[in-house]
Amino acid sequence: MADYDAFVSYSHAKDKPIAAALQSVIQTLGKPWYRRRALRVFRDDTSLSATPQLWPSIEQALSQSRFLVLLASPEAAASPWVNKEVAYWLDNKGADTLLIAVTDGALSWDDAVGDFVWREGMPLPPVLTGRFISEPKWVDLRAYRDGANPRDSRFIEAGADFAAAIHGMPKEDLLSQEVRQQRRALRLAWSAAGSLLILSGLAGWQWKVALDNERAATEQRLLAQAQRERAERSLAAATQTANSLVFDLAREFRERAGMPADLVRQILDRAQGLQRQLTESGETTPALRRTEAKALQELVRTLLALGDTTAAFAAAERARAILEELSAANPGDTEWQRDLSISHDWIGDVLVAAGRREEALAAHRKSLVISERLAATDPGNTEWQRDLSITHDKIGDLLRVAGRREEALAAYSKSLAIRERLTAADPGNMRLQHDLSIIHRRIGNMLRVAGRWEEALAAYRRGLAIAETLVAVNPSNTLWQGSLSTSHILIGDVLVTSGQREEALAEYNNGLAIRERLTAADPGNTEWRRELSISHDRIGDVLVTSGQREEALAEYNNGLAIRERLAAADPGNTDWQRDLSVSHNKIGDVLGAAGRREEALAVHRKSLAIRERLTAADPGNTEWQRDLSISHDKIGNMLAAAGRREEALAVHRKSLAIRETLAAADPGNVGWQADLVGSLYKISSVSEPADARALLRRAITIIDALSKSGALTAAQQNWPESFRRALAELPPEQAEAQ
């Protein structure tokens, strides 16, 4: 029996995203709700573990597959791997089980010759020449090469051509089966909710009957009491079931790909409504109230993953209110106190996503007060100690964004000390090891800001080593896979700073491969999609520095497509809005370098509009202020290149004002000092000689200080010489006076 229903052969250079999307559609189309997949499809990025002998593993997978799905394109035709895979298939399986999807190029059949017309740019591998008796059916996927969404109805219909052939059933029957399966899943959810509504109604009716009977006559008191107790038990059972329904549905929808987001919200809203109705229908126990709060917190996690910050905040507030009431009623219950501290952290997380940073910091500090008290009460309680370290992390993140670098580093150091103690006491605890890898990354980030590149790289590598160990133990853990990809990206960032572009590109590609696998497995996970867009940006950055503009532009556009969808889905998510502004700027830079100034200027202005909105909403966010200064400079560069000197000067001065404020607030932040140098240089280039001279001298003073501290990056090592040369090239002061 074959291990795989199909094997996907494609060009890694161009067709990874569409291959992943097609795999997702083929595997899930028509599957029952209780199964993970309907078909098992082999794609090397998701199905192969690391092996020194790649071809034997590929050959084994081919031999164990029933169909070969070929993504045809000029790149695939030129790929030796694709040719080798197709040649093996023809020799061992034949052309009858080979299915073709064209992602680029054109196919034309010549009836007279009985073969395709072979010409330059032919998307089929040469090994297929003369191998078809008659024209095979092929599916046109060229419209989806730049971005295929597995939820798109037209893409699903195209994927159904392959899934139907592999299932051995008509396409229309398969699509009808898919509709039936979706309806069946929804009926199960609705029937669960309906059953609980009936149960709640029955409980309410029994409650009323019990009260009426109790008042009716003294002689029936015992009977009424029995009825009352039965009603209370029914109400408690219904409430507990409703709480469990909210909890289970929230977790199920978060972990399940392919369900429309609006439908998920509709079902969760109904489940929440039932939960609230039962709670408000009569008295309830503290235990039931606690499970209600727990279910709401699980709901917050799911709503954040769906990008609905408004609904997430409402659920978090309800959970906090319940837990505050319970804790106030019994201050000595440490479990309720712990629950309350966690609820404050959840509110902080939602506020961060909504861009309400100061309120988020206040919420996390409320959590810290409780966590510190609990941890001091029982230093041996691992969970309480871990809670305290997590809250330190969250506070450190917000302080870092606010430019309060020393305070942030202090918070991270407290977290590190706790996690080192915990892992030393229990080295086999994988969750604690993962926590330790995360705090190493956070401290690495702070060391980078201070220009301590070697120390930052060492911290990142410590985090990477832990992440690699975790993934080796459990490769299916997506949280650990995501953590490993982040470590690769951060190491790549430091390598770029030190001028090691090839090594950085290798790290970025390692991170990209992991993130592509994660998003292909769960396209609805917004966080993984966001991380994937970041990987595309990093690779594009390296390609730009290598002079590969077109390839860089393709990577940036891949990231932009993801970010536009995310930002449109939740305009209130400030992280996604900022990401979108970054994409616009990167694309504008490439267009400007290619001489397409008007296009570049238009794109940079899109970025500026987003950043002006963000900084207006939160003026104290130093990262957003820096972003705004960058946008001003990019627009100023375009205006200067177009000869619009006065406009360029005005825009650059806006950037300078921001950077002077930032540099004065944190003189030890080498990144902000370098930004200030950049602004001084840009203004000098469009200023009168006398003004330019003063600006350059000020810049040289800052550069000398950075150089003495060893904080200049590899790309900045030529600054002292180049700035002094620029100063020397200005007209002498005496000549200016004449």
Residue 387 CA to its chain's centroid (Å):
24
Residues 223, 114: Cα–Cα separation, whole Å: 90
Residues 190, 186: Cα–Cα separation, whole Å: 6
Q: What angle do CA 110, 116, 122 make, to 5 degrees?
A: 135
φ, ψ at 70 (rounded to 5°): -100, 120
Site of tokens 């395709």: 116
Residue 638 CA to its chain's centroid (Å):
32
Q: Would you call 502 exposed, middle or buried from its count of C-beta atoms within 10 A (0-12, 13-18, 19+)?
A: exposed
Neighbours of 538 (CB within 10 A): 24
Residue 579 CA to its chain's centroid (Å):
11
Q: Would you call 664 exposed, middle or buried from its count of C-beta atoms within 10 A (0-12, 13-18, 19+)?
A: exposed
Polymer length of the chain: 738
> DSSP for 166-204?
HHTS-HHHHHHHHHHHHHHHHHHHHHHHHHHHHHHHHHH
The residue among 138, 53, 55 whose CA lies nearest residue 95 is: 138
Residue type, 416: L
Task: Indicate the helix (H) or strand (E) that contains 104.
Answer: none
- Are 663 and 676 in contact by the 8 Å Cβ rule? The answer is yes
Handedness of CA 54, 56, 59, 64 (dihedral sign): negative
Between strands 138-140 and 41-42, the pairing is unpaired
- Are 299 and 274 in contact by the 8 Å Cβ rule? The answer is no
Residues 685, 680: Cα–Cα separation, whole Å: 9
Q: Would you call 467 exposed, middle or buried from its count of C-beta atoms within 10 A (0-12, 13-18, 19+)?
A: buried
Neighbours of 556 (CB within 10 A): 27
> DSSP for 369-410?
HHHHHHHHH-TT-HHHHHHHHHHHHHHHHHHHHTT-HHHHHH
Site of tokens 């599916």: 139
- Are 533 and 563 in contact by the 8 Å Cβ rule? The answer is yes
Residue type, 488: H
Residues 363, 357: Cα–Cα separation, whole Å: 10
The residue among 653, 625, 659, 628 whose CA lies nearest residue 640 is: 653
- Are 373 and 419 in contact by the 8 Å Cβ rule? The answer is no
> DSSP for 317-332?
HHHHHHHHHHHHH-TT
Residues 85, 178, 232, 292: which is the catalytic one? 85
Residues 93, 91: Cα–Cα separation, whole Å: 6
Between strands 109-110 and 98-102, the pairing is unpaired
- Are 16 and 516 in contact by the 8 Å Cβ rule? The answer is yes
Instruction: Kindly list the distances between the CA atom of residue 61 and the CA atoms of 43, 517, 642, in Å, as whole numbers in the listed order.
Output: 9, 18, 57
Query: Is position 646 annotated as part of the catalytic site?
Result: no
- Among the residues of 35-126, which ranges form H helices? 44-47, 54-63, 74-78, 80-92
Mutual angle of helices 16-28 and 153-167, in 10-degree steps: 60
The residues annotated with a catalytic role in the active site are 85
